[in-house]
Each structure stands twice: as structure tokens, then as C-alpha cells.
Chains A and B, each alone.
Chain A
Amino acid sequence: MNIQDIANKLKTDFSESVEFLEDTLFIKVKPTDWLEISEKLKNHDDFKFDYLMCISSYDCGDKIKYGVAYNFKSTSIGHELEVRLEVSDDESIPSVVKLWGSADWHEREAFDMMGIKFDGHPNMKRILLSDDWDGHPLRKDYDTPEYYRGMPVPKDKTYWE
């Protein structure tokens, strides 16, 4: 099924949450209905997206919203799908850990790098950075801290030359 058909099928049940713009390759979903939509994407016979390939987080650029892109594939039917959700700092996205096990670490990485919160995740800790790091590095307005536990974070070579 191509992306237009998938979008139309989803819109029949979740018309306010699902948005598909022409000439794009992704579907935009609102976080409120995300749990039901993802459950339908995994289990419904038309979709059967059992393989969550990647969860990427991105910065929308306006310092307000941050987005998450889910890439799905179905191993039985063979079609692919990209779903995007955009939230601001005070909203959070429901976690899909119970449906796809690969979401576990990918969501932790999205939280670690971009600061997006996921509800219902069993172990929401930083994964790549140490637990007491400040800030979320992949945001466009991120400033590296001056010191980390008393060690200077080198911005240029004058620190060690």
C-alpha cells in the first residue's frame, strides 16, 4: 500500500489526529491518539507493521517544538511507513514499548539527545550520556557546559596546549 492509501485508511478512524500533506513521504500524528493508532498499525490486517526500524528525534527549528520520526516496515506485506509526531517541552508522547521492543532504547536515546519525554516507559534514563549530564545535546540551541564535575569541557585547543 502506498502512503496515500495508508493515510486515507487511518483518517477514517482518527480524522483529527492524522495529517498527510501532498508531496511528502510521512504522516503527521498528534500525540493524544498515538497509542491507539500505533496499536492499529501493528495489529490490523491491512497494515501489520511489526518491525519498528528506527526512532529519530529532530529539532523543528523554532525552539518550541521537537519532533520524533518513527520508521516502520511490515515483514509480511512489505510496505514501509514514516510517522512523525511533534511536541513542545511541556507535552509528552505515549511510549510504544509494549508493542515494539526496539522502541525501548530508541526512546531513551530520543530523550537523552533531544529531551522528548515518553509516558509509560519503564526505564526513562539517559542511555548514551552519563546520568548527571545537563542539557540535551542535539537541540539546535544547545551550549556545551563549561565544566562537568570539575573538569573543563574543552571548546578549543587552548585548554590543553
Chain B
Amino acid sequence: MNSIIDSLLSLLSFTGLPYYILVVVAILIAGVHIFLLMAIFATLAVYFERKVSAFMQDRLGPMEVGLVGFKGGKKFWGGIGQTIADALKLLTKEDILPNDADKKLMILAPFIIFMGALLTFIGIPFSEGFIISDFNIGIFYVIATSSIGVIGIILAGWSSNNKWSLYGAMRSAAQIISYEIPLGLSILLPVLVVGSLEMSEIVAWQSEHRWFIFHSPFTFIAFFIFFISGLAETNRTPFDIPEAESELVAGWMTEYSGFRWAIFFLSEYASMLIICMLTSILFLGGWLSPMTIFSIFPDNWLLLDGPIWGVFWLFSKALFLIFVMMWFRWTFPRLRVDQLMHLCWKVFIPFALANLFFVAILELIFL
């Protein structure tokens, strides 16, 4: 599969510059686009979350701040410029670093979390051939880089010189590391059946057979285990005990203000997008159109398939899952720490191991 970097390099080769300069230019272009994607997505996701939560709670949400052409006030899209206004406000806020805090670590922590999210986007395909850099270890790279964030969280909690922040950071680190195990075990299922770590191969398998969630009852269960472990990875309710709890004011983010806090927020929404896109690619058919599930349509008849349509389908599946994540946040209470750990170690891991075992046997029988 061609990757974007390859296409960029071949595009720019007409200039005749040495190879390493071309590579740097290509990387910069790709990096800027990924950053723009993350920023724009975070903007839209925050606005979406506020509106969704407001409508669920029988109120209106942001209504006043408009954007060019969209006047604020009466219609339900009234507050569409709210997040941009908030982002501008955060940029102009005073940059507070407490006196007794470890300043270097405190400055470093948001960057580490941000880097984790950015690096992960490199390995995620948006459609056929629409991947920044084509690894043949696909998923493995994505899971590895998405774990970099834990270091940032621990640094943030430690460097704040605040007993409560440390408490929250430790809880968050324990939660994220524990839930990576069921996450990884559930990822092994598509890898096992398809036989390759590359995500494009997995989607190709799904286009030939059927969406992975319908492959067997074990993968159906694995979908839920994967999605819920993904919720725990991103510290969303019902697993948001490190963040939004009533005893520790804001957990490990307490001492951060202004734009540093905005970076934490941005990377949280970016990791939400990553988890939802991974779920769509691995279990829900990725960039395949839903029309292909029902083979009642004759071939070549309005299948809505193709590279451009692929991006649309992938993003709509991811957006639906993001809506489900937000739905969970505003419906469920949160779990206590020991109930969280019990759920991971005594419920999810046995089920995930059992899934793996049975799917392996299925593969052996029906090879």
C-alpha cells in the first residue's frame, strides 16, 4: 500500500533537492496536517460534547457565540464558535508554574502526552492508501505509541508538588496500565484470524468475508471488551475516577492552567478519536461501506465504496462511537477504584483470554 509520505516524496522529486531535505519537508507537511486534524477535531468534539450533554440534560448548551455567517442566538447551532473563543481565551491566560513544583518536568509533561497522541496518528489509515506511513507492524506500533501518554500523566502528577495530584496520577496510571491487557488481548483476535498486523490487510479480509464483529460470538464479546477498555484508557466515565472526582478537585491536572491544560484536553480528545477509529477499523469494517453487509444489492449498484467514500465511512463510524462514549459519560455514575480494578482483572481478562482460546480453536478447525 502506498503511503502519503511516499506519494509526497515522489511528488517533490522533480525539484532535484537531496533526499534528506525532501524527507524533512514531507514530514513537516504531514505533521502539520495531523496537528491540524487533531486541533480541528478537538474543537468540534468539545462543542459536540457540550451540545450532546446539554440536550441530554434538557438544557441548551452554548448558544451565543457564532462563527462567520452563523449568528448566535436562536437556532440550536447557535454556539458554534464557542470552542474557538475558549481556545483563544486559554492562549491569553497567565502561565502559572507553582514555586515549589518541578518546573522542567511540569513543562515537559504536556508535550509527552501530546507526542503520544501525535505519533499514534501516523500509523492509522484513513482509507485505502491514505496512511501517513506504512508500517508492516501496523497495530503493534499504534498500541505502543498510545501508551506513551502514561509517562506524561505520572510526570504531571509528580511535578505538581500536590498530594492530591500525585494520588490522582497514580490511580490513573494504574488504571491505564491495567486496561491495556484486555485491550491487547482483544486486538489479538483480528490479528490471529487475518494473519497480519497491518490494518489495511485486516480491512481487506473484512471486505472479502464479513465485518469482524459478526465473525463469531467470541469476536462480538471482544468488541465490547475492546471498546470498554478503550473507555478506561482515555479516562472517560464510568472510569473517570482520576479526573472528575469529588474528592480530588481535578486529579492530576489540578495545577495546570492556560494553554498547558488545553494541550491535555486536546490529547484526551485525540486519544478518544484514536480508540474509536481503531475499533471501527478492527471490528466494524473500517472504510468499507455498510451496504456491503447486506449482499442483497447486485454488484456495482450504489455501493458507495472507494477511497474518498472510505474516509467518510470511517469517520462516520468513529463519530458514532464517540457519540456513544459521550452518551456513557452523561448517563452512568462512576466506578470506585477497587470496583474498576476488579472489573479489569477478574472479569475482562478471563473473558479476553477465553475469547482468544476459542477463536484459535475455531481457526484450527475451519482452516
| A–B contact (CB under 8 angstroms) | no
Q: Which residues of B contact A (CB under 8 A)?
A: none
